[in-house]
Chain A
Amino acid sequence: MVLLEVKNLSTHFFLKESRVRAVDDVCFTVEKGKILGVAGESGCGKTTTALSIMRMLPPAGKIVKGEIYLEGIDLLKKNKEEMRQTKWKELSYIFQYAMNAFNPVMTVGEQIAEVIIEKQDTNSKSGKKEAWKKVKESFEIVGLDPDRSKNYPHEFSGGMRQRAIIAMAMACDPKLLIADEPVTALDVIVEKKILKLLREIQTKYDLGIMFITHDLSVIAESCDEVAIMYAGKLVEVGDASTIFHKGAHPYTRMLIRSFPSILGECKRIEPISGIPPDLANPPLGCRFHPRCPIATKECKEEIPPFEQFSTSRHQVACFHAGESIA
């Protein structure tokens, strides 16, 4: 069942003299109970896509086109107040900078309780008690000592803080969770634990997760589906195994090749040469063509359509999808 559907989303940043096409014509869906991993180099528009869904873009950013359906309701049609009420109740967000996500002068429990109270219908005293009960419960779910909810953020370790953030994200039983680089700042062992925790919670609550990361190994480990972005465009979407084994877009393949594999044979890592384009003046045609080894004249002139490729859930935007890249 489709939980989130993003249709033809374009988000541009309007600077004084230029317009940066940070996200251009992006379509994808997140299924209920599935994890969609969104991958790509930094600056490719992953976070902007996520912030567009939250409607939390910085002032210069504007959604110029598209629809975002959460359980069939277009979030972009909601007014500010409706959107505010939707946030956290229906969709919550884990930010990149986990370490500073908590206010240093308030206790962790307070910050979780306040959002539960905010989203409750009643505002009575019992509501406050109820909220604190839920705080303790959520602490237990993420494997934290409930008594620690009275502590200040700086008294938590990095891993504990990340757990507390997940507890906060789950506090109001959302349907969709957007996690923006949730494990990037953590060391490998803690990272493993947190990923496991996310998986557990996701199965337990039948949650849909949009998981943003630049780290393909994290995606391989934890995601059901993968979306690859390049320079503000979606280049390929599909099942995790399809993408990793039968990736059809040259960028996808090169991206996978540029990551070391522990299980496979020892291969030389091949970095992708060149740099991502300037999104204020993106190249004509396929945005990847200046760096693509198999680009042809067609690629330089026309934008490749985003089409179904091998299976029904596998879509690629490339004229030469599936061709070998030497």
Chain B
Amino acid sequence: MSLKSYIARRALDSIFLLIVTVVFNFVLFRIMPGNPALAVLGRTGQVRPEFREALQIRYGTNLPIWDQFVIYLQRLLEGDLGFSFYYYPTPVSDLIFSHRLLNTVLLMGISILLSFILAIIFGTIAASKFKSKTDLVSIFITLTSYSTPVFWVGMLIIFYFFGQFHLIPLSGSPRLEDPKYADFFAWALDYCYHLIGPVTTLTISFVGAWFLIARDQMLGVFMEDYITTARAKGLKERRVLFVHARKNAMLPMISVLALAMTYLVSGATLTETVFSWDGIGLLTFDAVTYSDYPLLQGLFLLVAAVAIFSSFLADIIYAYLDPRIRY
């Protein structure tokens, strides 16, 4: 199969998955107990019947389920994700595509990039010293980090670096609109300052998850004959590791990165909660806490779409990068 027809097939797969997701998204939020509109009414307590009716019409919950689905699809195609219960009457799309998405993309982007580089460097070093003390110690450290709940790492970081040493701010995510910032740079500086805590937390957690994968890939590559050849050639060890081995070990890491791309928009609920980082993760937490179903639906759709797209992209990149792959 040529690359082109492979891409076409994967694209079809992705579109199919996207349709399944849209349907699933609709069904999932209809099978919950009770009526979606009741959630918002429950929160407002006693309401007049007219208001209840108005709300039902507003959310379309008085219609038969099939009509609801058609309306849902129509609105979706127009980019309308409905109105939030909790932040009523703000549209869901305004809640998601705002400073929150930016905050999350920045936080996750920096953490993912940092962790990815660190995991590859440490993984390479550990694998090159297979079963040595360095290797065992780094395995132990990363297994520990893998076994530690990320929010607890965040708590410890706040406790020590804010509470004891006063190195980082407590929490929050500065907004450019805040009048206390004289100019863009003042804001940017404070923003970076606030990023330190959550980025450190997430990096510790990601490196714990990725180090072993990177090490494993490297070990696999080290068993390859061309590495022995490269060593026999008397190349510097650094060149053997980072030119000959890394290029090959990087290929499978692409799928790891594709996975991480989803986090880029989904955010990290626990970390964002601990550091009150106003991002998508925190928004998800709020949506769950307040049973804000339209908002949850919108969030789920966004994340699922990115997940499908990034896995599609990863497969294409993989096929393109490895000259040996023939589908």
Contacts and interface: CB of A to CB of B under 8 A. Distances in A.
B233 A101 contact: no
A86 B234 contact: yes
Interface stretch (A88-96, A233-241, A291-299): A88-96
A84 B230 CA distance: 11
A118 B244 CA distance: 14
Q: Is the interface of B mostly helix, strand, loop or mixed?
A: helix
Given A104-B323, A106-B247, A152-B323, A88 B228 contact: no
A214 to B, nearest CB: 19
Given A103-B244, A106-B247, A154-B323, A97 B234 contact: no
Contacts of A106: 243-244, 247
B122 to A, nearest CB: 20
A223 to B, nearest CB: 22
A118 B236 contact: yes
A183 interface: no
A118 B228 CA distance: 17
B234 A115 contact: yes
Contacts of A97: 225
A105 B236 contact: no
A59 B234 CA distance: 18
Given A97-B225, A154-B323, A103 B230 contact: yes
Nearest to B248: A105
Interface string A63-107: 000000000000000000001111111001101010011111110
Interface in B205-252: 224-226, 228-236, 239, 243-244, 247-248
Interface string B302-322: 000000000000000000001
A114 B247 contact: no
Contacts of A54: 232
Nearest to A96: B225
B226 A88 contact: no
Contacts of B133: none
A114 B228 contact: no
A56 B232 contact: yes
Interface size class of B (residues with CB under 8 A): 20 to 34
Contacts of A87: 232-234
Contact of A154 (B230, B234, B324): B324
A106 B233 CA distance: 15
Interface in B103-135: 130-131
Contacts of A95: 225, 228-229, 232
Given A152-B323, A154-B323, A101 B226 contact: yes
Interface in B9-25: none
A104 B232 contact: no
Contacts of B248: 103-105
Interface in B285-301: none
Interface in A32-46: none
Contacts of A152: 323
A129 B247 CA distance: 24
A119 interface: yes
B236 A100 contact: no
B225 A114 contact: no
B237 to A, nearest CB: 8
Given A87-B232, A88-B234, A119-B234, A101 B323 contact: no
A140 B297 CA distance: 66
Contacts of B244: 103, 106
B323 A105 contact: yes
Given A104-B323, A104-B324, A114-B239, A92 B226 contact: no
A100 B225 contact: yes
Contact of B226 (A86, A93, A102, A115): A102
A88 B248 CA distance: 24
Contacts of B324: 104, 154
Contacts of A100: 224-226
A101 B229 contact: yes
Interface of B: 130-131, 224-226, 228-236, 239, 243-244, 247-248, 322-324
Question: Shortest 4 CB-CB distances between A and B: which pairs?
Answer: A87-B234, A100-B225, A103-B226, A115-B233
